[in-house]
Structure 1
């Protein structure tokens, strides 16, 4: 009987400790979410060109040496994703892009990924994107990010076959969020 009482006491203590830790995690997540809302002011940070506008014209050189430009994206749906090397969420987003491309049925010519920041880190982030997307490196707040009015990363800009922006938002993983379930 003594062992049973001690066992129940231990289970109760572990359960109480678990509850305290869960409450601490929830409080921390709420603080983090409040801070994000305070900084950005909205649920989804508007980032990129306005929806319904033509895709801003650009020309860049991809990491494989090929020329990437806005005209090459016309005639089919396309996506541009802007990532940053100093964004921890962007590393996950870069790793998720191959699956997103597969699910969306997009060829590498339809996806452009712009990675801003340190080139060595950008190369590591770009590794899973080989053959999946055209990758362009630029310095932080580089010419493409400035042209596209990128306010936060990761940002995805979707374009219809006519070259009109259909979606432009920043978020934890906007590419996967836009895919059908």
Structure 2
């Protein structure tokens, strides 16, 4: 998530929530941008505003995790409460940090002190890669099912029909103002 993408997410979610439009999210979020430039721009502040907009939304959500969902930015897949159905493609991968950077950060000393640092790093990455399968972690992440990508369109079409029935009759219903 960058400053621009965070602002875009916040604005989109607020628009959908204001006008009672269910959200479909095809999710691939590698994380929040880091580094001196990101810090100078206040990226984390904007990312947290986007996450707050998501958590405060009231419309139904359906998320398909197609690739990555890492770190705090992985929470941008939808709010924790209310209607937020989550599915994943077999290509989905999630965690607190991408595997390659995580292994290097967590085991730097062990890797550096080994006789063959490249082989030690590869062995650790292989060990932890076995734990990143969407099949293994789907239940803990709240994934309802891992679906064949070819089944995405019919699943979402059915979901949109059901979500529309859950929305209030908008005649005379005040919508909340957009966030500033």
| Larger RCO, structure (CA 8 Å, separation 6 or more) | 1
Task: Verify same fold: TM over 0.5.
Answer: no
Q: Which has the higher strand share?
A: 1
**TM-score, reference length from structure 2:** 0.26
**TM-score, reference length from structure 1:** 0.26
Q: Which has the higher helix share?
A: 2
